[in-house]
């Protein structure tokens, strides 16, 4: 005969508490009296209580599981953000389920449906470059499940968001190139459907105009963020009758691909073409020459996104929390790809 396994109901009866109160105490809910939590945890240990997540979910209508959706794992950016998210959510007593969309809208929709079916308590997401319709995310809202966007955000959804100051980062990068004597600065931009791509493009343009340089359409190429296309477009720029003397890239993988192409054609970096990237990928410090890049507080992006979500999950039902957008600063890291002989 199987021995009786201690349940939440057993603990609740002995302490004369509701099942919901015991469940909240066991899962670290902030709105439980400290003395009550202590008594529940002590009795749970005495009775060798083994937490049954399914039973807790049925009692509280919460799974204490958060869905995280990201578009790719090629760059270091999204894995680093996820680490920040996981650390903050673990402190708050939540588990995570990570979904990777591989830059596919259809996969993203499938992942969203799977997370809804799994009854996650909240969603932290950065959408794919293909995403134009956000109804699969609005479905979370309709079911009362809070959503937080980061990096790639839906501007039409009134939910919390975490971004960096893409405009200021791009402006500083291009101004640095101008200050080192560059006058024909090309920009390999991301898809114009992504707000961060548009903001970086605007920073690029405004830096040129501030210093009296023309914004030349031939030097601006928006592309799909694949390295194959980056290779093609860098070669195209170098084949222009008047090739650029500098390049500002939408991200570090693009900048590193550009550096490889330029050196492969026998040109010197930065003497012939200077290069600036965006994101401060760890690899950017180890290539030759080192890549000048705009650094983002990647770990903090994840932590901020998690905190915004937990803020919504732990608020009293009658409290209306206005969605806010957290904008984090960037800073320029100068290396050898823009200044000869410079070492960071």
**In this model, does residue 245 exceed pLDDT 70?**
yes
Q: For residue 69, what pLDDT is reported?
A: 98
Q: For residue 61, what pLDDT is reported?
A: 55
In a domain, 335, yes or no: no
| Structural domain harbouring 18 | 8-60
Q: How far is CA 92 from CA 255, 292, 306, in A?
A: 38, 37, 9
In a domain, 332, yes or no: no
| Out of 20-34, 117-131, 278-292, least confident range | 20-34
**In this model, does residue 13 exceed pLDDT 90?**
no
In the chain, beta strands by DSSP E = 65-70, 95-100, 122-125, 147-150, 161-164, 185-189, 220-222, 246-249, 274-279, 292-295, 325-328, 331-333
In a domain, 343, yes or no: no
**In this model, does residue 48 exceed pLDDT 90?**
no
Q: At what angle do helices 8-15 and 53-60 cross, to 10 degrees?
A: 60
Angle at 4 between CA 2 and CA 9, to 5 degrees: 150
Q: pTM of the entire structure?
A: 0.81
State mean pLDDT over 20-27: 78
157 and 170 housed in the same domain:
no
Q: Number of structural domains, the chain?
A: 3
Q: For residue 229, what pLDDT is reported?
A: 96
194 and 90 housed in the same domain:
no
**In this model, does residue 75 exceed pLDDT 90?**
no
State mean pLDDT over 250-262: 97
**In this model, does residue 200 exceed pLDDT 90?**
yes
In a domain, 249, yes or no: yes
94 and 216 housed in the same domain:
no
In a domain, 319, yes or no: yes
In a domain, 138, yes or no: yes
Q: For residue 17, what pLDDT is reported?
A: 86
**Which of 145 and 57 is assigned the larger pLDDT?**
145
197 and 282 housed in the same domain:
yes
136 and 74 housed in the same domain:
yes
180 and 69 housed in the same domain:
no
Residue 195 near residue 159, CB atoms below 8 Å: no
What is the pLDDT confidence band of residue 342, given thresholds at 50, 70 and 90? low
214 and 288 housed in the same domain:
yes
What is the pLDDT confidence band of residue 52, given thresholds at 50, 70 and 90? low
pLDDT digit string, tens, across residues 98-149: 999 999 999 999 999 999 999 999 999 999 999 999 999 999 999 999 999 9
Whose structure tokens read 């170098």?
A: 238
140 and 251 housed in the same domain:
no
Instruction: Look up residue 223 and give its DSSP letter.
Output: -
**In this model, does residue 164 exceed pLDDT 70?**
yes
**In CATH, what number is assigned to the domain containing residue 198?**
3.40.50.2300
d(CA 69, CA 98): 6
In a domain, 336, yes or no: no
Cβ contacts of 238 within 8 Å, gap of 6 or more: 244, 261, 262, 265, 267, 273
**In this model, does residue 59 exceed pLDDT 60?**
no
Whose structure tokens read 């999950």?
A: 313
């Amino acid at each position: 005969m199987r021995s009786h396994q201690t349940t939440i109901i057993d603990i609740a009866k002995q302490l004369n508490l509701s099942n919901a109160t015991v469940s909240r105490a066991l899962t670290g809910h902030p709105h439980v009296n400290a003395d009550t939590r202590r008594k529940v945890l002590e009795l749970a240990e005495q009775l060798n209580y083994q937490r049954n997540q399914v039973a807790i979910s049925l009692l509280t209508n919460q799974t204490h599981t958060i869905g995280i959706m990201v578009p790719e794992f090629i760059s270091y950016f999204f894995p680093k953000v996820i680490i920040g998210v996981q650390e903050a959510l673990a402190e708050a007593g939540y588990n995570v389920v990570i979904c990777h969309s591989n830059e596919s809208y259809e996969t993203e929709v499938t992942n969203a449906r799977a997370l809804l079916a799994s009854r996650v308590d909240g969603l932290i997401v950065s959408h794919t470059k293909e995403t134009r319709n956000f109804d699969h995310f609005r479905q979370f809202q309709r079911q009362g499940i809070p959503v937080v966007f980061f990096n790639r955000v839906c501007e039409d959804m009134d939910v919390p968001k975490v971004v960096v100051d893409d405009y200021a980062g791009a402006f500083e990068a291009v101004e640095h190139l101008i200050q080192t004597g560059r006058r024909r600065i090309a920009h390999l931009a991301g898809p114009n459907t992504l707000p961060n791509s548009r903001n970086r493009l605007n920073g690029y343009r405004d830096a040129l105009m501030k210093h009296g340089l023309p914004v030349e359409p031939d030097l601006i190429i928006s592309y799909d963020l694949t390295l194959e296309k980056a290779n093609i477009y860098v070669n195209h720029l170098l084949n222009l009758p008047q090739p650029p003397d500098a390049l500002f890239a939408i991200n570090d993988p693009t900048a590193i691909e550009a550096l490889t192409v330029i050196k492969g054609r026998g040109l010197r970096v930065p003497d012939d073409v200077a290069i600036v990237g965006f994101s401060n990928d760890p690899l950017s410090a180890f290539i030759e020459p080192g890549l000048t890049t705009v650094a983002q507080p990647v770990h903090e992006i994840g932590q901020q996104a998690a905190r915004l979500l937990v803020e919504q999950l732990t608020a009293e039902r009658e409290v209306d929390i206005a969605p806010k957008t957290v904008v984090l600063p960037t800073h320029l890291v100068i290396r050898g790809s823009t200044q000869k002989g410079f070492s960071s």
